[in-house]
Amino acid sequence: MPDTIYVLNGPNLNLLGLREPDIYGHDTLDDIAGMLEDRARDLDLKIDMRQSNHEGHIVDWLHEAQAEGAKAVILNAGAYTHTSIAILDAMKAVVTPVIEVHLSNPHARESFRHRSHISRAAKGVIAGFGALSYVLALEAAARL
């Protein structure tokens, strides 16, 4: 049975393709899921992709990823990247490696986006490549 990679997406990512396409691109979350599913098959991995606008769901899913024996988590925490100590604490509480991912480059944007709380507990960070950021994160997860 293939290893599972959880792909967790935070607030407003359900609006990808519609929300500020000049920053986030035209790909929807479903488009990204399709790209990941295709690549995951090649890597003999299984994707479990989820999105929530609620911080507690992301915390619960991080706990679940560990409980279910996931190989890794790819996490785009959206705005929670810059605000959530709860998600940071959940990442520190689990042994499952978490790869932080961003569609845009937060360091090329507003100054409040330059700080990531969750980076402190992330195995690595991939940012600025649009939907390709997720595929690159999956490639990294496969090699862990």
Show Cβ contacts of residue 97 under 8 Å, excluding neighbours closer than 6 positions: 72, 73, 123, 141, 144
Q: Which residue has the tokens 């700080």?
A: 115
54 is catalytic: no
Rounded Cα distance, 73 and 47, in Å: 10
6 is catalytic: no
Rounded Cα distance, 23 and 66, in Å: 32
CB 116 within 8 A of CB 106: yes
Rounded Cα distance, 9 and 41, in Å: 21
Q: Which of 24, 80, 117, 134 is catalytic?
A: 24
Please tell me whether residue 7 adopts helix, strand or coil conformation: strand
Crossing angle of helices 29-42 and 132-142, in 10° steps, is 30
Q: Which of 6, 102, 117, 134 is catalytic?
A: 102
List the catalytic residues: 24, 102
